[in-house]
Amino acid sequence: MNYQSTRNKSLSESASAVILKGLSSEGGLFVPEYAPKLTAEEIAAFAKMTYADAAFQVLTLFLSDYTAEELRLAADNAYGGNFSVDTISNLVKTNDGVHILELWRGPTAAFKDMALQLLPYLLTGAAKKQGGEPTTAILTATSGDTGKAALEGFKDMPNTKIMVFYPENGVSDMQKLQMQTQEGGNVAVVAVRGNFDDCQNAVKAIFADRDLEKELSNAGVRLSSANSINWGRLAPQIVYYVKAYADLLKSGDIKPNGKVNFCVPTGNFGNILAAYYARLLGVPVNKLICASNRNNVLTEFINSGTYDRKREFFATASPSMDILISSNLERLLYLLSDNNDEIISKWFTSLKENGNFTVTAEVKAKLDELFYGGFVDDDGTKLIIKEVFDRYSYLLDTHTAVAYGVYKKYVEQTGDVTPTVITSTANPYKFTHSVYSALKGAEPTTDEFAAAEEIERMTGTVMPTRLKETRSKERRFTDVADKEKLADKVREFLL
């Protein structure tokens, strides 16, 4: 199986080449040349597998230039004792019949771990296959969850270094503490005076800096990225959708050949795109429900067929979804337009230059058939957290609460009774401040940890140990830099 670019389908690259490159040179995203298929029996068999086995099965379908041994080792190393539950992805049924797929049982308490515990193995494997510089250096700009998950995934990996940039005032207190206390001999973290876009633009400029590239290459270093446009992050996310469906068949919550809805709190469109790939593999999906916060560019797109990024940006209580350019949407539109690379180039050039594009009636009709888009603002999010806790004693984080709220709207509007899985993307204690104020109706006046203890008392839930431990750990990384100075930081770290 090879990969083509959404903006030039005559390209054909191996899985390891696209994982090492991340983005195609003309700006397109890599997609598999065809969709592999699983039979109903093969899908049902996922219920009997461990998570690592399930991951091995799916990865084998997509990453054909890796050996079985390589993928086996990667899956076994990625999904084991580093997660707090044996199931790895944890399916919970609330009393109202909704299934919540907890994807945050990994080391950093956000769903990014599902892919970033595995990606380092795929990337070091790819570097070996592709040859070139002996050291791979990962540069990542983060709005909070990706940075920490990437640091944990890559820490002390041989022949690898990782440097993360985050906006000084753009992440939650817990997210900041998690990154400042990061362990490992090959890691660096820098806070940036600016917002997430400043961090992202600085990283892009560093990748485009040919002089720096030469200096690094002379020192035996190649740059690579761990962000969610990399196929190596997408492929591992398909696994939990297939597994969840199989588990619901086994428990009888879905009858044989019955359909499922997936409702996903969405930012960069990676997670929901993985659900779409699960459908292509053969999982009988009825609707994909795309949930947004007040930055509802996707809701509008799904409802109108026009994507318009020229709008006000809001900092919300679900910061990991505060995004106006959902990069992975490009992959979906490529597939829905029957691999029309010309039209995709046109739309995404227009998005860059004019700030918008409108899809054809054919593509809009396909979107309508499969997708539902909705959004919930911060007040609505907090109401949902309180209501779901009061009714079902289940504590949602802010991102999952957005999804829950959108699902409720969907059911009200459609009356659809198809069994539904809501993907839960973070542990509530990563967003203590907002969860506290949702439950108490007032902002906490104490610090993060005292507020967390109060939530523990109120709800009988416990803050994950790894988050608790950040309180007493050494703050190794307190460096704050101007956005113009990040290339210097890279040189200091890598040369």
Q: Which residues bind ligand PLP (CB under 6 A)?
A: 110-112, 145, 228, 265-271, 320-321, 399, 425-426
Residue number with CB closer to ligand PLP (359 or 422): 422
CB of 229 to ligand PLP, least distance (A): 10
3-class SS at 236?
helix
Q: Which is nearer to ligand PLP, 188 or 234 (CB)?
A: 234
Distance CA 208, CA 22 (A): 14
- Residue 18 burial (10 A CB sphere; 0-12, 13-18, 19+): buried
Q: Tokens 């296959």: give the residue.
A: 129
Number of other CB atoms surrounding residue 404 within 10 Å: 26
CB of 200 to ligand PLP, least distance (A): 13
For 95-122, letters b (16+ CB in 10 Å) and e give eeebbbbbbbbbbbbbbbbbbbbbbbbb
State which residue, 63 or 291, has the beta carbon closest to ligand PLP: 291
Nearer to ligand PLP, 161 or 287 (CB): 287
Q: Output 125 or 167, the one with its CB closest to ligand PLP.
A: 167
Q: How far is the CB of 353 from ligand PLP (least distance, A)?
A: 24
- Asked whether the beta carbons of 164 and 116 are under 8 A apart, the reply is no
User: Residue 31 region, left (φ>0) first, then alpha (ψ -120 to 50), else beta?
Assistant: beta
**Residue 92: CB minimum distance to ligand PLP, A:** 17
Closest CA to 58 of 44, 77, 39, 38: 38
The CA-CA-CA angle for residues 381, 242, 226, to 5°, reads 70
Identify the CA nearest to 444 among candidates 434, 457, 431: 434
Shortest reach from residue 230's CB to ligand PLP, in Å: 12
In the complex with ligand PLP, the residue whose CB is nearer, 79 or 111, is 111
> What is the edge-to-edge ordering of all strands in the sheet holding 160-167?
221-224, 135-141, 160-167, 187-193, 480-482
User: Shortest gap between Cβ of 210 and ligand PLP (angstroms)?
Assistant: 30
Find the shortest distance in angstroms from Cβ 399 to ligand PLP.
4
Closer Cβ to ligand PLP, 111 or 404, answer by number: 111
